[in-house]
């Protein structure tokens, strides 16, 4: 009999809230975190907007020395993990065996700020000026390592990188470890802090980014809208505590949702473009539903990847329609990226937490800026205002550069 995996803790740092409560409240009222970039000059960039995190107080989580060693992405990882671990009651291990608790907090790009700063030092002052903490500061597994050290978690711990599917892959892989008996608890999620000049320039020169829509940054992220231009870069982190259900109940933890199924596939077609027929994403969704022991008709809600790029949104709708057929028009969908932008490696994890909140509260958050849906997509039920629902099963989709696809199927407790 397969071990059942439940969610017992959640934590976030996002452009619209630095904890789950503030994040969820912002989503429900449709508050955008997108604004003009103020941290570096943007006059030569193709895009001058981002969903950045402001007023984040790293001193709540690290000493000044530790904060200096680590990059912003690790700061966010540790903060989100602190909230999730506390919510799950794992901050004091109590009846949990630390050898059976793992940590898979991943990032797609690592500590871009540390890397950029130390390269500049080397060029200006020579290689002896490079910090001895450069390597531990930039390594992508730093978040998982720091969290493991902090709480004494000694189960499986590492980093997965699959571009914009990183956070979702970390959650799916963690669930697989618990099912396989490799761990009883996994602290899993994703983080990114790449809204730096060079990365914004790179994505901009690839013509992947949106500009302020009609001069208003908050209107730029427009998933499924006819006038979508591209995605808005965001930053932040999302971490969940996944746990074998009986283990959670024995130690008195409260399950928030069940992670019933997951699917992971690859397009094997193009490095940056989605497959035009989106068969890889379709197969990931079908696998998640089948692994959950459900049928497509059982899915009540979809939180799509929804990048707001012309090609990405089109491919995702093809995949969804090939799974759900005409019923897709009647399944509510809400795109979290419409408010927080695209958190890259952190996106799937943060959006999964939005799904858990929806299942917990039986409430769907709106997609903002979906003013006029692309008529090529056919009829869709994109949620425009927060909506009360009866929702038992919800689908979360992610897709990343490299053709990596991941889908999660979560259920109400």
Tokens of 99: 């050898």
> By C-alpha distance, which of 380, 222, 372 is closest to 302?
380
How do 185-192 and 101-107 pair as beta strands?
A: parallel
DSSP H helices, 34-109, are 64-69, 72-88
Contact by Cβ (8 Å): 281, 289: no
Contact by Cβ (8 Å): 74, 146: yes
Q: Which helix (H) or strand (E) holds 8?
A: strand 5-13
Q: Which helix (H) or strand (E) holds 303?
A: strand 301-303
Residue in 103, 164, 357, 406 annotated catalytic: 164
- Residue 300 CB contacts under 8 Å (≥ 6 apart), including other chains: 331, 332, 389, 390, 391, 392, 393, 394
Residue in 305, 357, 404, 406 annotated catalytic: 305
Residue 305 falls in the annotated catalytic set: yes
> By C-alpha distance, which of 125, 100, 240 is closest to 182?
100
Residue 366 and residue 349: Cα distance in Å, rounded?
A: 18
Residue 164 falls in the annotated catalytic set: yes
Residue in 117, 342, 365, 404 annotated catalytic: 342
> By C-alpha distance, which of 176, 307, 184 is closest to 241?
184
Residue 338 and residue 223: Cα distance in Å, rounded?
A: 6
Grouping H, G, I as helix, E, B as strand and the rest as coil, residue 106 is strand
Contact by Cβ (8 Å): 111, 70: yes
Report the sign of the C-alpha dihedral through residues 351, 331, 245, 94, in that order.
positive
Q: What angle do CA 191, 53, 219 make, to 5 degrees?
A: 105
Residue 312 and residue 406: Cα distance in Å, rounded?
A: 14
Catalytic positions are 164, 305, 342
């Amino acid at each position: 009999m397969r071990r059942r995996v439940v969610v017992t803790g959640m934590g976030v740092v996002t452009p619209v809230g630095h904890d789950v409560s503030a994040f969820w409240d912002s989503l429900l009222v449709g508050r955008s975190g997108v604004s003009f970039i103020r941290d570096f000059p943007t006059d030569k960039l193709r895009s001058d907007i981002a969903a950045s995190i402001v007023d984040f107080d790293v001193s709540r989580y690290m000493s000044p020395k530790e904060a200096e060693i680590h990059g912003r992405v690790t700061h966010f990882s540790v903060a989100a993990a602190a909230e999730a671990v506390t919510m799950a009651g794992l901050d004091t291990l109590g009846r949990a065996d630390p050898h059976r608790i793992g940590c898979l907090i991943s990032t797609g790009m690592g500590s871009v700020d540390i890397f950029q700063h130390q390269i500049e030092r080397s060029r200006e002052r020579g290689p002896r000026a490079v910090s001895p903490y450069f390597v531990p500061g930039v390594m992508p597994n730093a978040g998982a390592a720091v969290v493991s050290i902090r709480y004494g978690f000694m189960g499986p711990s590492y980093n997965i990188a699959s571009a914009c599917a990183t956070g979702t892959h970390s959650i799916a892989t963690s669930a697989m470890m618990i099912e396989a008996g490799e761990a009883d608890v996994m602290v899993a999620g994703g983080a990114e802090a790449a809204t730096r000049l060079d990365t914004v320039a790179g994505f901009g020169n690839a013509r992947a980014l949106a500009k302020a829509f009609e001069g208003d940054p908050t209107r730029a992220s427009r998933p499924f809208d006819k006038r979508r231009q591209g995605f808005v870069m965001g930053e932040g982190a999302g971490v969940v505590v996944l746990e074998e259900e009986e283990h959670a109940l024995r130690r008195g933890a409260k399950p928030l949702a069940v992670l019933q199924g997951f699917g992971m596939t690859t397009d094997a077609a193009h490095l940056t473009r989605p497959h035009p027929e989106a068969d890889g994403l379709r197969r990931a969704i079908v696998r998640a539903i089948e692994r959950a022991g459900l049928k497509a008709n059982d899915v009540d809600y979809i939180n799509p990847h929804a990048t707001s790029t012309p090609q990405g949104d089109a491919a995702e709708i093809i995949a969804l329609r090939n799974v759900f057929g005409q019923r897709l028009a009647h399944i509510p969908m809400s795109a979290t990226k419409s408010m927080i932008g695209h958190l890259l490696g952190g996106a799937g994890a943060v959006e999964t937490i939005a799904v858990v909140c929806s299942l917990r509260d039986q409430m769907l958050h709106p997609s903002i800026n979906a003013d006029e849906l692309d008529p090529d997509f056919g009829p869709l039920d994109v949620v425009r205002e927060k909506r009360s629902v009866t929702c038992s099963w919800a689908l979360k989709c992610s897709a990343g550069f490299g053709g990596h696809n991941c889908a999660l199927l979560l259920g109400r407790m």
